[in-house]
Structure formats: structure tokens, C-alpha cells
Structure 1
Amino acid sequence: MGRGGASARAGGEWRTHGVSVEGYRHRRTGVPCQDAWHSAQFRTGSGDRIVVLAVADGAGSRPRSQEGAQLAVRLATEHFGREAAQLRVPAGEAVHGLLHSAFQSVCREFLVAVEQTGAPAQDFATTLTVVVITPDWLGHLSVGDGLVIVRAGTDEDGIPLFHLLPQAAAASEYSNETVFLTSRDAGRWVRTDCVDDPGIDAVVLSTDGLTQAALTRFQTPNASFLAAVLGPLETSAKDPDTEEADLAELLRSDRLSAVNADDKTLLRAVRV
């Protein structure tokens, strides 16, 4: 992913922070934000740390999608973290199997939970994007249109490089229809990746409300935006409450709302 970075996943700690804000459309109509995020840390039997990051985008047309998104990210951190901590698998095909297994567990528990409400499962429709960081690999699973960008290595001038991980496929080659956890055969459209690069020192997850900010018109990572949102997390000098308020203000700004009026979620993790 570029020239080797000085930091490695095996050393240091990960600092995480996320924010979800309602988009312009929802602010105007008084509808709450239907995005959600969650992060959690786990320990393996040998004491190694596992970090799990998850974001979800509830379907705007569904009446209980906010609940669906919140449920999805909580289940994702629980199941992905538990499986990664219990099964110390090497980088490669075994990681894909672990990610699919955890996803199936999430789907089963998600459907059981929503069925108990008596409402149709589709009322809780949501996308899901998950990243699992272990000392040996970074795993990524997505269903729907979330984004994952990692920072690893530098160019010839020493400038950090950002890399967009492949996104999940659309429901068909003829459609950009978003796939949800509750979609028929959702498992067919799941995308998994295993990245074996010890130089990864930052990860950004977002829902599609930030696509135009996080990516350039060439669909490559927007380094200036990413560096700006990661910078405050890499120093302990700033007050966390002030930092969160500043980030929320940025995500609600007229500049970002003008290019995308959807809800916006940004979940960041940096090696410190």
C-alpha cells in the first residue's frame, strides 16, 4: 500500500472516536439521525488487543431504521470482536471465513430481535460496514454503501498515503440499489477483505452521506479532508468534548450539506 510506515499494528494503542449527525433533510423535517456507529476493544487469550469498528446507515424510507442501525452496530462489535478474539487465525482465507461467520451470527440475532417487536423486518433495514483490527491483519466486511479508508505508508516526499478499500457490490450490475441486512439473499452481496499491512496507522469508516467529502471526483481518497479529521485525534491536547462538537459542526456545515443532504457518520481510529 505504499512505502513502509514507521508504525505497526502490533505496537501502540488505538484511539477511536465517532460522530453521527442528522442530514439537512432530516434537520428540516425534524427526523432524527438514522445512522449509527459503535466501537469496542477485546482481548485474546494471550492478551493481544482486538479493535472492532462498525457504522450503519438506516434506510430513510423505513420507519424503524434508526433502531435497526443501532442494533446492527452493537451486534457487529460483539460478534466480530468475540470471534476474532477467540479464533486467532492467520492472515488469508481464514480471515474471510471468520468475517462471514460473524456476519451470519449478526444477521441471525438481528432478525430474532426485530421479529420480537412484531413489526416487519424491512422496517429496520440498514447497511453495515465493519472493520476488525488485530495484531496480524485488518479485516473488512460491508453490505451496502459504506466506505472504509486506511492510511498506510508514504509517498516519495514522505506524505502519508490513504487507500480506499473495495466496496460491496450493488444489488445487480444494472442497479445502484443499496443492499440491507434485511434484503433477500443479503449474504450474496457481502464484501470481505483481509489487509496484511503492518504500516496501517489510521482507519476511517463512513456512511454514504460523506462520500463526496471523503473521496475526490476520481473516487480516490480526499487526503486533505481525511488528514483534517484525523489530526485532532492524534493529539491529546484538545478537549474531547470540544473536539466532538467541532467535528459535528463540520459534518453539519453548509459546505458538506450542499453536496449531500443525507445523515452523516464518521468513525475514526488512529494508532497513538
Structure 2
Amino acid sequence: MIVAGASVAGAAHRDAGRGGEDAFRAVRTGHGAVLAVADGVGSRPRAALGAHLAVDTACRVLAAVPPPGRDAGAPEWTAWTAERGAFLAGRCSRWARALTGNEDGEPDDLAAALLVAFLRPPWVAFVSLGDCFAAVLTRANGRDGGSGSDDRGGSRSPDATDTPDGTDSPESLTAPTVPNDSDREDNSDRKDVPGRTATPVERCHLVLPPPEPGGPPPAYTTSPSARLRVRTFTVWEPELSGVVLATDGCAPLALDHPSVRGLPDAAGPLPSPRFLPPLAAALRRGGGSAEPLHAVLSGTAAAERTGDDLTLLCALTEGDGRWG
């Protein structure tokens, strides 16, 4: 398993002489891996501390109780995720009160958006408070991406970022820091090259979109209603090849407006095929080094598209397609 993450202070924060207020953490357990990202609420005086507190608490809480087995069903995974999510929301609030109880401050000073995932392929359990977003990557069986269905009656996510010919778009927002090798022939997917086999196309699916603009304000880690409004859900995906968590500052880079695909606004944001699949490929080529990811988040394209902090954390299969 490759785990890579990076966090970059947004241009607006740097211009104001402030540091970043995001945080991320990943831990391996005997049953899988926990990934967590947090975005400190910028209007709060201790937002950065709140973000670090949130990811540390999330990793401890989700690693403390073993999840169901890989062969368990959806009811077991759903119940475990809901229980851990409610417990996490309560624990974040408790720690915030403990840290501010004897000081001039309120627990809300540590407010943060939090997104955490427990990865035990083919299962992924998500817990969310706030406005971070999540995506999964899949490698379909066969060059055409397969049927998009599974033997449990499930179906492939409807927002898969397929281009008309079933391949990733050659255009890349991340070039030149994450080159898509458009200036040289890539034979990895060709069946007519001796010694080569067809490599399944990797596709991106947005499983947790950011909140819709104009909707009700999200609940954060210190919100009184956090235990009631925490979102939990599970994904079973036998062709899972990656899990990506990101703070909302990454949305202008990683997501497309539906009009790009000729869809109405009601369709909501869609994952860009020019961002996450090429980035995942670059991270695998680098053996898991986070440098390509850090370069993208620090690059010109990011500065032009968002002034917010940018944090992205992902877990990917190895180059041979196995989780390890």
C-alpha cells in the first residue's frame, strides 16, 4: 500500500502572514489503515490546533475497535461505522472542552471540518463532519472498464470520470510537475507490444461531494449538534485501487463543474479525470514519495484557482495492483 499526503498553506493565508490551518494523519493498524484530514475553521482563533486535534483523535478512535472482517456484510460495516462516527464526534467535543475549560476561550475556538476513512479493501468506511470531500479510484476488469456492476447487486458510481473513448483525458492540470508523458509513446495499455498486457483503466468516483452552496451550514467537530449530524457511510468496491481525502481548498483543482460534461448544475461537481488519476500514477512511479503531490498543491495552477489551504491524503495500490 502506498500512502502519501501533503498540506500547503493557501495563498490568501501566506499573503496575510498566516500559516496553514489544515492537518492530516495516516496510521496503519493490524486490520487496515486509517486516513484523516481536517480543515480548521479560519474564523476561529485556534483553528490550526483544532485541525491537528481532530486528525489525532480520529486516528485513535477508528483504530481502537477492530472493524468487521473483509467478508462481513453491509449491515455489520454500517453499524460499526455509525458507532465509531458518533463516538468520534463526542470525543472531539470532549477534548475541545478539556483544552479550553481553564483558559480564556471557548471549545468552538478549536472548530474544524474532519473527514476520516478506515480502509480495509474491498471496504472503506467514512466519517465526516464539515465540508471536506472524498473520492475513490477503481481499476475495472478489462480494457473497456467492464460492466460496472458486482455480484452483490451493487453498481459502479454514476459519476465515474470516463472520457468518451474510456481513457483518461490527455490534458493534465498537473503537468509539468505530474507529467502525463504526452510527448512520448506509452505502451502500457497496448496488447500488441511483446511482454505487455492490457492495463485496466483507472477511474475516479466522487463518493462524498462538498456541501452545496447556499445549503445549511455544516456541523464541525465542536458543534453542539455534531453527534446528530455526523455523516457515516461505507463503500464495498472489489476493484478499489485508491482512496482520496481532501479539504475543500482542493475542490477547484480536483473537481469539474457539471457544465464541463454538458450536464445541468443540479448534477453537482464531478471528479476531474485530469487530476486524480494522473496524480495517482505519478505517486506510484515515485514509489510513494509525496513530492509530486506537494509540487501540485504548491504549483501555479493551485495558486490561480484557490487561495485556501490545500490538503490531500491518499492510499493507493502498489504498481502491481495489490494493496499489500
Among 62, 73, 98, the residue aligned to 1:91: 73
Equivalent residue in structure 1 for 2:240, among 200, 208, 232: 200
Match of 2:45, SS state, is coil
Pick from 279, 291, 297 the counterpart of residue 251 of structure 1. 297
Q: Is the 8 A contact 1:169 1:189 kept in 2?
A: no
* Deviation at residue 17 of structure 1 after TM alignment: 1.0
In structure 2, distance between residues paired with 1:166 and 1:268: 15
1:142-200 residue CA offsets vs partner (Å, 9 max, x unmatched): 11111111111337244321110034767xx9635232111231233322221111210
Q: CA RMSD in A?
A: 2.2
2:308 to 248, 253, 262: 262
TM-superposed CA distance for 1:37, in Å, is 0.5
From 116, 119, 125, the equivalent of 1:130 is 116
- Rounded to whole Å, the distance in 2 between the matches of 1:58 and 1:91 is 35
Partner SS, residue 53 of structure 2: helix
User: How high is the sequence identity, in percent, across the aligned residues?
Assistant: 28
Counterpart in the other structure of 1:164: 206
1:93 and 1:144 mapped to 2: Cα distance?
Answer: 25
Greater shift in the superposed pair: 61-70 or 226-235: 226-235
1:224 counterpart = 2:274: yes
| Change over 3 Å in CA distance of 1:237–1:162 after alignment to 2 | closer
Is 1:210 the equivalent of 2:250? Answer: yes
Write out per-residue CA displacement over residues 101-140 of structure 1, whole angstroms, 9 at most, x where no aligned residue. 2223323332332223333111000011111111451111
Q: In structure 1, how many angstroms separate the alpha carbons of the residues matched to 2:208 and 2:133? A: 8
Tell me what 2:266 maps to: none
Work out the CA distance in 1 between the residues paired with 2:99 and 2:233.
34
1:141 aligned residue: 127
Separation (CA, whole Å) in 1 of partners of 2:242 and 2:287: 19
Residue 68 of structure 1 and its aligned partner are, at CA, apart by: 0.8
- SS for the counterpart of 1:96 is helix
Partner residue of 2:19 out of 10, 28, 32: 32
In structure 2, C-alpha distance between the alignment counterparts of 1:179 and 1:265, rounded to whole Å: 20
8 Å contact from structure 1 (residues 76, 103) kept in 2: no
Q: Please report the TM-score for the alignment, with normalisation by the length of structure 2.
A: 0.70
CA displacement 1:24-43 (0-9 Å, x = unmatched): 11111111110011111111
Task: Confirm or deny: 8 A CA contact 2:210 2:248 kept in the other structure.
Answer: no
Show the counterpart of 1:8. none
Name whichever structure is richer in helix by fraction: 1
Report the CA distance between 1:208 and its aligned residue.
0.3
| Corresponding letter in the other structure for 1:160 | E
Query: Please, what TM-score do these two structures have when normalized by structure 1?
Result: 0.83
Shift of 1:204: 1.1
Cross-structure match for 1:9: none
- Supply the AA of the counterpart residue of 2:233: D
1:237 shift after superposition: 5.3
Q: Which residue does 2:83 correspond to in 1?
A: 101
User: For the residues of structure 2 that align with 1:136 and 1:73, how far apart are their CA atoms?
Assistant: 23
Conserved 8 A contact 2:203-2:277: no
For 1:16 and 1:83, locate their aligned partners in 2 and report how far apart those are by CA, in whole Å: 22
Q: 1:249 to 1:191 in 2, by over 3 A?
A: same
User: Given the superposition, is the C-alpha separation of residues 257 and 73 from structure 1 closer, same or farther in structure 2, using an over 3 Å criterion?
Assistant: same
Please tell me whether residue 82 in structure 1 is matched to residue 68 in structure 2: no
Tell me, in whole angstroms, the C-alpha distance in 2 between the residues paired with 1:223 and 1:68: 33
Instruction: Mark the CA change 1:200 to 1:136 in structure 2 (over 3 Å): closer, same or farther.
Output: closer
Deviates more, 1:213-222 or 1:179-188: 179-188
Q: What residue ranges of structure 1 are gaps of 5+ in the alignment?
A: 1-13, 44-48
Q: List gaps (5 residues or longer) in structure 2.
A: 145-165, 167-199, 259-268, 319-324
Q: After superposition, give the CA deviation of every residue in 1:44-83 in whole Å (9 maximum; x if it has no partner).
A: xxxxx31111111110000111111101111111111222
In the alignment, which residue of structure 1 is the partner of 2:7?
20
Letter in 2 for 1:120: E
The structure having more radius of gyration, on CA atoms, is 2
